[in-house]
């Protein structure tokens, strides 16, 4: 029971980390290597307002969403669209976006280092909470609840709203989407911006229970990439399921086998999934 | 101009400051060529500003470099036979990458032609850079390097000095405290031990296994966890289920915070709770407040001597942040030793300065320090948070160790 | 041998001789830059042997490099074995591993292959740390040798020359021809009777082999090996970035990426020690936006302009 609950909570954290990238890569086709830095920025913002003005991270979530939304939209509009327009094919765009976002991640690390090179650590809701007889940290539970809410809202938005439908259409096939009159660039920018904003919110929530520093982003980026690919590109359900599987596997291995093997086991599961389903859990077979 | 080269790394949050720093950096880049005044003494410093070790170096290494340089320059510079010379500091970021580090030291030695270099941050970096220091004859007063290979390394590199202690001495420090507590009936003999699966943690855990068992302790839980484990709760849960009397974690900064947070949440009630690096950081107390009263950590300090009080005050005044309760002081001491050796020799002669360090005792904020076979045997091994102050409780030849307190709950 | 290839061969020999003379001319700083550049030349060029023609981007270089460095360190530090023996063992281990990975990933394409290799490298890094922790548990891995930077540089130069020679041989061979067809269209390649699987796996093994050798050679330079530092994901990314910057459709493309990249990197580290990362990032962006086809693309464009 402990394993199930802790594993789900950790999975929730991974959902937060990967959901934004899933939108960015699945719809806008940008393999965003600066994803982890967006998390670090969210965490830094939260740490900053908490330690200087005692602002609750919950409130920071509300603050950061529009800021990150605008910031990511600007990045897409002014830095990435030129790449999209110039790319002759998907491979070209992939290479360019890897290079460009790798550069952006360096820039963001540089900015964060010059603001605060130390660890961002503070205590928020770091108290025990009983769930079905298992003790969990309240801050992790809060993050999990947010993960569930964000995932639900995104899912409903994608499946029930007009705008969401357009986003899904672009994700499935951008050329056909264009034919039916969807403004692909606009939709992609929207998806990229929302993805970035979700990631920044994830950073705020994660900073309440994980100690971050300026250079730690790359670890989150790698985790997010693994989850998105394991789930299958462009399917939000895939990312959620992959994240929960990783959370459960890591917790089970740490509890039952050896905590030293948690990350190795997570990667092993990822590799196995790809070996048997080369297109990820929910991905469509490639043509 | 000299002053402007001393780049500040204050963590104050202000965009204006960032812009100003950027501006001055660009300015410096432009003026660097014209600013090579002949009457300065050039000191190099290479340590991480980015990468996994940057968080620690920003607390322990860089502020002390800044503090020392500003202090020396404020009093007119280093006194040499032919007059006083201001320090010109040249610093590089090694990005926590040994290759980058080696390149930067090469640059300091052959391009910038610095007179002395402040030793690197981290065991691996001190060892990786030792051959170059030796090649150009720079004395290397290593601080943040803990190893059991000191004899071999100092025999190989005649300018390499160690000041922070060996792996074994750190483990023995913890063992002695646990033995004391057991003998006075405060704890039993069940120990839960975990370590981060990185060179540092592996070495300490490896040294600790036989030492703890020989001292009659039973290791009821002994596991490692990978660097960057996002959820440490299974480890604390596992340790708690083993019902230990003492908990020892050979941990690194992010996990030192993570383990302690989980221990509080799980209410891991042990008589002795030890986490290694960063337990002595001001941010540790900042995060947990009074809950960590009685927590043991790697290294220590005697905060009550006048010299240490002065040092803490100046550190705060000049760098804008608090020193940590361990290696901050050692790092500063290493520069005091360098300073006194240079002034003792009275000229920029690296061979003579190295010899001077070997032959003399130095008056530092940690008392008198001297080297025997290039190793100083005066250092703190264990400290404890007591009523909001981090105090050394076990040491090798240091005075003023505080009485150990038994940990009682997390309040 | 026709006139053109004689000319190319002579240019190559002159370059090699000049490169071999660097340690006599420069010592210290410039040598250490040349050494870093040579390390990336060997890594990026051997990486591009596989990724250039197939367009499969592998992020596993760090894993192979780490195997080289780590095995040398373990062998020398824990078992007192010779450097050369460990280098040979590391090369064999990495090649076998590459063969396994190559066969396992045949069904993967595009981004799935990229992230698979990244995940694999991370799994190896964690497994090695775990094995080190539980079974080897040495008191630190020290690689103390009498090699100077010049020795290490010459070893890396030798490796690079072999990589180039091999690359040239492959391009002239049936295998190279097969690879080009695979790169253009894998289905076509299969239809014309090319054993695509064998060709891909063979080239991937080459990449693994060379990365491990380079890792082994670098180990004495680092002196102290930490699993988390030699199995660096950053290295995998840098190898890719440098090769892409140079341009991958020519054998000498990565070379033209590595050299400017190393110099720019160095210049920024010197001029802006407190903002190195920030300005490196800006430089990347400038490269992406203004050098879309890499250095090779730029050169070819210039040449075309001169020709017309």
Band (B19; pLDDT cuts 50, 70, 90): low
For residue B3, what pLDDT is reported? 38
User: A 255-284 residues with CB below 8 A of C?
Assistant: 258, 260-261, 263-264, 267-268, 270-271, 274-275, 278-280
Asked whether the beta carbons of residue A107 and residue C120 sit closer than 8 angstroms, the reply is no
Whole-number pLDDT of residue B9:
39
Interchain CB distance below 8 Å, C288 and A99: yes
Give the per-residue pLDDT at B199.
Answer: 80
CB C78 within 8 A of CB C235: no
Taking alpha carbons only, the member of C225, C236, C58 closest to residue C144 is: C225
Q: Is the model more confident about C25 or about B90?
A: B90
Specify the pLDDT at position C138: 65
pLDDT at A45: 93
Residues B250 and B389 grouped into a single domain = yes
Residues 6+ apart with CB under 8 A from C272: B25, B26, B29, C278, C279
Chain B residues in contact with C156 (beta carbon < 8 A): none
Mutate to test the interface with B, among C272, C273, C281 (most CBs of B within 10 A): C273
Lowest mean pLDDT among B379-388, C119-128, C221-230: C221-230
User: Cα(A15)–Cα(B36) distance, rounded to whole angstroms?
Assistant: 54
What pLDDT does B30 receive? 44
Extents of the domains making up chain C: 3-244
Does A200 reach chain B within 8 Å, measured CB to CB? Answer: no
Q: How far apart are CA C219 and CA C299, in angstroms?
A: 36
Provide the pLDDT for residue B4.
39
Instruction: For residues B36-40, give the mean pLDDT.
Output: 63
CATH number of the domain residue B111 falls in = 3.40.50.2300
Strand, coil or helix: A213: coil
The per-residue pLDDT for B20 is 53
- Distance, in Å, from the CA atom of A50 to the CA atom of A52, rounded to the nearest integer, reads 6
- CA–chain centroid gap for B193, Å, is 23
pLDDT(C217) > 50: yes
**Predicted pLDDT of residue A74:** 94
Confidence band, pLDDT 50/70/90 cuts, at residue C68: very high
Average pLDDT, integer, range B291-317 = 91
CB < 8 Å from C in window 19-48 of B: 21-22, 25-26, 29, 32
In angstroms, what CA-CA distances link A14 with B40, B207, B231, B233, C49?
53, 35, 11, 16, 36
Whether residue C293 lies within 8 A of chain A, CB to CB, comes out as no
Q: What does the pLDDT read at residue B44?
A: 94
* pLDDT winner (highest mean) among A174-178, C29-33, C61-65: C61-65
Name the maximum alpha-carbon separation found in chain A.
57
Alpha carbons C87 and B92: distance in angstroms, whole number: 32
pLDDT of residue B24: 52
High-pLDDT (> 70) share of chain B, %: 91
Kindly state whether B321 is in contact with chain C, defined as any CB-CB distance less than 8 angstroms. no
Query: Tens digit of pLDDT for each residue in B325-338?
Result: 899 999 999 999 99
- Give a yes or no: residue B401 inside a domain: no
Interface list for A 133-152 with B (CB within 8 A): 135-137, 140
Give chains near A: 3+ CB pairs under 8 A: B, C
**How many residues appear in chain A?**
287
Interface residue B8 vs chain C (CB under 8 A) = no
Residues C226-255, mean pLDDT to the nearest whole number: 84
Domain tally, chain B: 2
Angle between helices A184-206 and A57-74 (to 10 degrees): 150
Residue B16 has pLDDT above 60, yes or no: no
Are the beta carbons of B337 and B368 closer than 8 angstroms? no
In chain C, residues with a C-beta closer than 8 Å to the C-beta of B96 are 229
Q: Categorize the per-residue pLDDT at A46 as very low, low, confident or very high, splitting at 50, 70 and 90.
A: very high
Considering the domain architecture, whether residues B71 and B219 belong to the same structural domain is answered as: no
Q: Is B407 domain-assigned?
A: no
Collapsing DSSP to helix, strand or coil, C118 comes out as helix
B35 and B144 co-located in one domain:
yes
Mean pLDDT value across chain B: 86
Q: Average pLDDT, stretch A99-126? A: 87
Please report the pLDDT score of residue C1 as a whole number: 57
Mean pLDDT over C189-210 rounds to 84
Over residues C72-81, mean pLDDT: 86
The answer to whether B275 touches B295, Cβ cutoff 8 Å, is yes
Identify which of B156, B195, B198 has the shortest CB distance to residue C228: B198
Distances (CA, A) of B110 to A110, B45, B117: 28, 14, 12
Q: What is the mean pLDDT of residues C115-133?
A: 88
Q: Answer yes or no: do B202 and B186 share one domain.
A: yes
> Are the beta carbons of A57 and A205 closer than 8 angstroms?
yes
Same-domain check for residues B57 and B195: no
- Least confident interval from B62-66, B108-112, B208-212: B108-112
Q: Please check whether residue C133 touches B, CB under 8 A.
A: yes
Higher-pLDDT residue of C19, C155:
C155
Report field, pTM of the whole predicted structure over 0.80:
yes
**Is the pLDDT at A137 greater than 50, yes or no?**
yes
Its ipTM equals: 0.86
Number of residues written out for chain C: 308
Chain B, 180 to 209: residues with Cβ < 8 Å from chain C are: 195, 197-199, 201-203, 205-207
pLDDT of residue B21: 54
pLDDT of B18 higher than 60: no
pLDDT bracket for residue B23 (50, 70, 90): low
Q: Rounded to the nearest 5°, which phi and psi values hold at A221?
A: -60, -45
Burial of C5 from C-beta contacts in 10 A (0-12 / 13-18 / 19+): exposed
Which residues are within 8 A (CB) of B344 and not within 5 positions of it... i.e. 6 or more apart? B356, B360
Q: What is the mean pLDDT of chain C?
A: 85
Query: Which B positions 81-120 lie with beta carbon below 8 A of chain A?
Result: 96
Q: Is residue B411 part of a domain?
A: no
Does B255 contact chain C (CB < 8 Å)?
no
User: Lowest-pLDDT range, A236-240, A259-263, B6-10, B151-155?
Assistant: B6-10
Q: Residue C37: what pLDDT?
A: 92
Residues C271 and B90: beta-carbon distance below 8 Å:
no
> Containing domain of residue B374, as a range?
2-166+305-380
Q: Please give the average per-residue pLDDT across A81-101, as a whole number.
A: 84
Please report the pLDDT score of residue C304 as a whole number: 83
How far, in whole angstroms, is CA C140 from its chain's centroid?
Answer: 27
Reading the block at residue B27, the tokens are 């300015």
Q: What is the mean pLDDT of residues C96-112?
A: 86
Asked, for residue B347, whether it belongs to a domain, the answer is yes
Per-residue model confidence (pLDDT) at position A285: 64
Which are the contacts of B38, defined by CB distance < 8 A and separation ≥ 6? Answer: none
pLDDT at A205: 93
Please check whether residue C269 touches A, CB under 8 A: no
Of the candidate ranges A269-273, B76-80, B218-222, C241-245, the one whose mean pLDDT is the lowest:
C241-245
pLDDT band at C155 (very low <50, low <70, confident <90, very high): very high
Q: Is C277 on the interface with A (CB under 8 A)?
A: yes
Average pLDDT over residues C273-285: 83
In a domain, B37, yes or no: yes
Mean pLDDT over B99-107 rounds to 88
Contact A202, A16 (CB under 8 A): yes
């Amino acid at each position: 029971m402990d394993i199930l609950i802790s594993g789900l909570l950790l999975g929730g954290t991974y959902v937060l980390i990967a959901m934004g990238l899933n939108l960015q890569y699945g719809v806008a086709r940008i393999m965003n290597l600066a994803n982890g830095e967006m998390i670090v920025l969210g965490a830094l913002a939260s740490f900053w307002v908490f330690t200087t003005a005692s602002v609750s991270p919950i409130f920071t979530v509300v603050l950061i969403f529009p800021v990150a939304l605008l910031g990511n939209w600007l990045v897409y509009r002014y830095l990435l669209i030129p790449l999209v327009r110039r790319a002759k094919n998907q491979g070209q765009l992939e290479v360019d976006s890897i290079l460009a976002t790798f550069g952006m991640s360096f820039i963001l690390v540089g900015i964060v280092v010059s603001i605060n090179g130390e660890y961002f650590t503070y205590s928020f809701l770091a108290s025990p909470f009983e769930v079905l007889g298992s003790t969990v940290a309240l801050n992790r539970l809060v993050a999990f609840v947010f993960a569930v809410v964000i995932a639900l809202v995104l899912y409903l938005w994608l499946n029930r709203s007009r705008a969401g439908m357009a986003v899904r259409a672009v994700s499935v096939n951008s050329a056909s989407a264009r034919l039916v009159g969807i403004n692909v660039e606009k939709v992609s920018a929207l998806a990229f911006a929302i993805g970035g904003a979700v990631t920044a919110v994830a950073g705020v929530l994660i900073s309440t229970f994980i100690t971050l520093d300026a250079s730690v982003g790359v670890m989150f980026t790698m985790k997010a990439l693994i989850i998105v690919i394991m789930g299958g590109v462009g399917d939000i359900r895939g990312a959620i399921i992959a994240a929960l599987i990783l959370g459960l596997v890591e917790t089970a291995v740490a509890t039952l086998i050896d905590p030293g093997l948690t990350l190795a086991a997570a990667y092993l599961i990822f590799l196995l999934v790809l070996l048997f389903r080369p297109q990820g859990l929910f991905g469509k077979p490639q043509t | 101009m000299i002053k402007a080269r001393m780049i500040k790394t204050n963590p104050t949050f202000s965009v204006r400051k960032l812009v100003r720093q950027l501006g001055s950096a660009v300015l410096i880049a432009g003026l660097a060529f014209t600013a090579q005044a002949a009457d300065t003494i050039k000191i190099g410093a290479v340590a991480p500003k980015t990468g996994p070790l940057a968080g620690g170096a920003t607390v322990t290494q860089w502020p002390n470099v800044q503090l020392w340089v500003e202090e020396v320059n404020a009093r007119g510079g280093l006194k040499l036979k032919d007059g006083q010379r201001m320090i010109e500091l040249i610093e590089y970021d090694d990005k926590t990458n040994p290759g980058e580090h080696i390149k930067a030291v090469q640059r300091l030695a052959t391009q910038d032609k610095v007179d002395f270099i402040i030793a690197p941050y981290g065991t691996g970096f001190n060892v990786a850079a030792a051959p170059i220091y030796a090649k150009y004859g720079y004395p290397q007063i290593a601080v943040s390097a803990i190893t059991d290979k000191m004899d071999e390394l100092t025999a190989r590199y005649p300018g390499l000095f160690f000041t922070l202690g060996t792996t074994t001495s750190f483990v023995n420090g913890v063992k002695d405290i646990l033995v004391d507590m057991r003998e006075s009936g405060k704890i039993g003999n069940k120990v839960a031990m975990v370590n981060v699966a990185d060179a540092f943690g592996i070495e300490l855990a490896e040294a600790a296994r036989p030492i703890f068992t020989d001292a009659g302790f039973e290791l009821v839980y002994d596991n490692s966890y990978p660097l960057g484990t996002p959820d440490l709760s299974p480890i604390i849960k596992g340790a708690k289920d083993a019902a230990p009397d003492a908990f020892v974690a050979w941990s690194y900064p992010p996990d030192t915070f993570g383990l302690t947070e989980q221990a509080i949440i799980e209410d891991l009630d042990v008589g002795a709770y030890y986490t290694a690096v960063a337990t002595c950081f001001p941010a540790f107390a900042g995060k947990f407040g009074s809950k960590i009263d009685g927590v043991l950590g790697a290294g220590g300090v005697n905060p009550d001597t006048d010299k240490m009080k002065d040092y803490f005050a100046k550190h705060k005044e000049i760098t804008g942040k608090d020193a940590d309760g361990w290696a901050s002081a050692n790092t500063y001491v290493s520069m005091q030793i360098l300073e006194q050796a240079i002034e003792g020799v009275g000229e920029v002669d690296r061979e003579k300065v190295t010899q001077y360090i070997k032959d003399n005792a130095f008056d530092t904020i940690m008392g008198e320090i001297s080297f025997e076979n290039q190793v100083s045997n005066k250092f703190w091994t264990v400290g404890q948070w007591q009523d909001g102050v981090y105090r050394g409780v076990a040491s090798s030849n240091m005075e003023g160790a505080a009485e150990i307190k038994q940990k009682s709950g997390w309040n | 041998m026709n006139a053109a290839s004689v000319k190319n061969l002579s240019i190559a020999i002159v370059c090699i001789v000049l490169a071999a003379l660097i340690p006599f001319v420069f010592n210290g700083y410039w040598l250490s830059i040349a050494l870093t550049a040579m390390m990336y030349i060997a890594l990026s060029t051997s990486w591009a042997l596989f990724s250039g023609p197939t367009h499969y981007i592998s992020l596993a270089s760090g894993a192979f490099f780490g195997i080289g460095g780590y095995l040398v360190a373990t062998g020398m530090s824990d078992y007192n074995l010779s450097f050369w023996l460990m280098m040979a063992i590391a090369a064999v281990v990495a090649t076998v591993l590459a063969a396994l990975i190559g066969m396992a990933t045949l069904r993967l394409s595009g981004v799935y292959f990229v992230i698979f290799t990244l995940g694999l490298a991370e799994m190896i890094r964690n497994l090695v740390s775990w094995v080190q922790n539980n079974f080897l548990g040495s008191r630190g891995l020290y690689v103390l040798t009498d090699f100077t930077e010049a020795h290490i540089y010459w070893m890396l130069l030798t490796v690079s020359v072999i990589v180039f020679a091999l690359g040239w041989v492959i391009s002239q061979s049936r295998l190279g021809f097969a690879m080009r067809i695979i790169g253009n269209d894998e289905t076509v390649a299969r239809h014309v009777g090319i054993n695509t699987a064998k060709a891909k796996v063979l080239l991937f093994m080459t990449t693994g082999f060379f990365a491990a050798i380079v890792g082994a050679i670098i180990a004495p330079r680092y002196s102290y090996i930490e699993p988390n530092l030699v199995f660096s994901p950053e290295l995998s990314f840098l190898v890719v970035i440098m090769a892409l910057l140079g341009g991958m459709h020519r054998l000498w493309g990565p070379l033209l990426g590595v050299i400017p990249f190393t110099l720019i990197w160095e210049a920024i580290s010197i001029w802006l020690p407190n903002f190195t990362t920030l300005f490196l990032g800006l430089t990347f962006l400038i490269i992406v936006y203004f050098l879309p086809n890499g250095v090779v693309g730029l050169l070819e464009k210039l040449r075309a302009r001169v020709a017309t």
